[in-house]
Structure 1
Amino acid sequence: MGQRSGRQERSKKPEVALSETMEAEIEVQNNKEEIEEVKAKNQKLASVFGVADLKNEAVGLYNLGQTCCLNSLLQVFFMNIRFTRILRRITVPSPARRRSSVPYQMLLLLEKMQCGKCKAVCPTDLAYCLAEHRVKLFVQYDAAQLFLTLWNLLKKQMKNPELVEELSDLYTIRIQEHLACQKCSFEIKSNSTMLTLPLPVLDANSHRLKTLEHCLQYFFLPEKLTGQNMCFCQQCGRKTPFLQSMELVHLPQTLTLHLKRFCFERSSRTHKLSHSLPFPQELDFREVLTENQCQADDREKATWQYELFAVVAHSGYSSCGHYCAYIRSLTECKWYCFNDSQVCQVSWDDVKCTYGRSNLNWRETAYLLFYMKKHPQQPSPGVSECL
């Protein structure tokens, strides 16, 4: 059977070879067309510099149904020149995958905002793309959680490892956690990364923290784990009181601070903490944290000087509300308010209105703060910044 089968294959070899040749030619032609299409698309997208260049009028985003949170975060991403430079270098996915590619749809939306002449555009395609990844319309989102969701989708779908690493370097915070038994010398150390620093606005006794610097200092204070929070000590062989502490190892170019203004009550309901909490335009971590709260060399610490870049503010209550973004243009050094389709220039006094007031729950209060390094270790060439 094997020999007979072999003779039959040899007798059909010229016909098979001709078929394979034709298929190969067709495949080469299709590949050429796809390559040309990708090149044309890349050339077109290469001209996109990002909405951060506000020499032209800023562009808003229409609200498609409770998408104010998404719109605010997108504007913060797009106004960050270093982010748009990473986004513009992504690999264009195959036609079958473009509809569900978050980085690609964000890039198309950026192009639409940059090249269009409208005062606002509809992020419809991106919204449908996100819906395929369980980010639905007509749902009220928490800005900190949605920021993490978008970040994870971007990292997961970027195929170039170098771009993924650049994106991580741009936003990721590195810390070292310590757990020390209070009965013996047993200690556990672990390194971890964070996208945001979740800062409490109340201390353990429910007293209001007065400034952003106080929130940062409180976040890095050692915490005693006693009672029900005790940990098992391998050396003692039982649960013992532990001391939990964190040390800052590395801060990224773009630092995100999450003000935890939504407080969970024992009744499982939440309420918003709207008391005044000032935050500075300039922030130097060397002046905020102690030596025991930092694990970095002098070169690293020298870069821990920041200037405020953007504020995502929330107005309303925990159950319903609205988001908008105040963003400082890195090219014009001016503040803008992005409120869905409405964009206007504002002053620093307008931004300070997001500090909050206890007697005005509906008033805008800062929820996410984005700080940009004043003196990055490796500044991007040709980027004009007012830092």
Structure 2
Amino acid sequence: MKGKAWKTNMHTREVSASACPDIEALSAGLSVLLCTILFMGKRSGRQERSKKLELAQSETMKAGADVQNSNKEAEEPKAKDQRLMSLFGVADLKNEAIGLYNVGQSCCLNSLLQVFLMNIHFTGILRRIMIPRHAAQMRRNVPYQMLLLLEEMQRGKRKAVFPTAFAHCLSAYRVKLFVQHDAAQLFLTLWNVIKMQMGKPELVEELSDLYTISVQEHLACQKCSLETKRNSSMLTLPLPVLDSNSHKLKTLEDCLQYFFHPEELTDHNMCFCEQCGRKTPFLQSLKLVHLPKTLTIHLKRFCFEKSAYIHKLSHYLPFPQDLDFSAVLTEDQCQADDNEKAAWQYELFAVVAHSGSTSYGHYCAYIRSLTECKWYCFNDSEVCQVSWDDVKCTYGHSNLYWAETAYLLIYMKKQLQ
């Protein structure tokens, strides 16, 4: 079948490649810099809605070159390997949480790293990776470098550590320092590289189960009722915060209902029907099949004006601490049995927030410790305990130019009794 509805355009946008700055130079004198957010995609109104079937799990990060084997094997002390493999997660520590120094507009990367490493389900997978044998492999292996960073964060009571070695590793996969990154895009890039280099098939499967959302796409011809179904998967739920008439959606629940609401494809959006032999109006819908243990929601707080200027949407949009998908979505919006829907009980784990405009700004992360059940604000090297009222400040405020707004919401599935 031809037509607009089956196009999948949410591929991970590649970051332009260049050599990463020398590690010693970075470590010597980098101060905390502000990073800017780079919003992507020209989607607003009905065009934005007709693109909602985009898939975020496409394997788009391809390594530029194969890892070169080095004849010189790196030193692998047995004690160090045992120490690495015994790590579980930053959230397990009883001492203070550790920050990450900004090493060149890396506030976006730092925020995402903290979200990954504070997730004990993710670090439980990370600590079981296969340790690379050669120095060249170690330098280019993202999961291994993430494990080394985790070890360094747990080693002492320092205020913060430098993620320069990890950033240098990412440069081999077109993720540069000193450039502005989009948090949703960088999350997809990191996840794809981690999955590609995980090594053990069982760990790849566990990683996919931890983050992957399963949906079923439906297209129904309005002339002959011919219906086509397709199962697909996503890494994030990319929720618009405006409806097709550019009206502001008022709550996260409204955004979810709008995302899964059927849409009529008419006029220039019509699809070709094989049974009718011509383009006809179609009804496009998306049904939820399965939700993972760690659910990532991307709030699309941007729109394009007629002048092609990207405008940030900072209006007030509350989100709950506890979220029950089976209560938010209707029966027609779900393609799951009762046992699956009974497990759709979530509580908020983390918020990646952005302050500033589309031209410049700054990222930080609010994360709830899974062991202490306390909220922390990770602002690069500065980490402090905060309250739920502090987290609620990321709901947004249209009248504040530097309004801090939630951009990524990470929910964790509740443990059923």
Partner of 1:71: 110
C-alpha offsets along residues 155-195 of structure 1, whole Å, 9 cap, x if unaligned? 01111000000000000000000011111121111111000
SS at match of 2:184: helix
SS at the partner of 1:300? helix
Alignment match, 1:360: 400
Candidates 312, 321, 337, aligned match of 2:377: 337
For structure 1, the 5+ residue unaligned runs are: 1-30, 378-387
1:154 and 2:191 are equivalent in the alignment: no
Q: Which residue of 2 aligns with 1:369?
A: 409
Q: Does residue 124 of structure 2 align to residue 94 of structure 1?
A: no
Q: Which has the higher helix share?
A: 1
Task: Tell me if structure 2 keeps the 8 A contact 1:198–1:260.
Answer: yes
Which structure exhibits the higher relative contact order, with contacts defined as CA atoms closer than 8 Å and separated by 6 or more residues?
Answer: 2
In 1: Cα distance, 2:77 partner to 2:343 partner: 39
Per-residue CA distance 1:258-280 (angstroms, 9 max, x = gap)? 00002122322211000000000
2:157 equivalent to 1:117: yes
Matches within 5 A, 1:185-224: 185-224=225-264
Contact 2:102 2:110 (8 Å CA) reproduced: yes
2:315 equivalent to 1:278: no
* Match 1:84 to one of 113, 123, 146: 123
Q: Distance in 1 between matches of 2:242 and 2:401?
A: 17
Question: How much has 1:41 moved relative to structure 2?
Answer: 3.4
Residue identity matched to 1:209: L
Q: Distance in 1 between matches of 2:172 and 2:162?
A: 18
Matched-pair contact (CA < 8 Å) for 1:354–1:365: yes
Of 287, 307, 312 in structure 2, the residue corresponding to residue 247 of structure 1 is 287
1:1-387 to structure 2, matched below 5 A, reads 37=76, 39-95=78-134, 96-375=136-415
The unaligned stretches of length 5 or more in structure 2 are 1-70
TM-align CA RMSD: 1.7
8 Å CA contact 1:220–1:246 kept in 2: the answer is yes
Q: CA deviation at 1:226?
A: 0.8
Kindly state the Cα deviation for residue 34 of structure 1 after the two structures are TM-superposed.
7.0
User: Identity across aligned pairs (percent)?
Assistant: 78
Structure 1 stretches of 4+ moved >4 Å: 33-36
Partner of 1:381: none
CA 1:376–1:159 in 2, change beyond 3 Å: closer, same or farther?
farther
Native 8 Å contact 2:353 2:405 kept in 1? yes
- Whether the 8 Å contact between 2:86 and 2:127 is mirrored in structure 1 is no
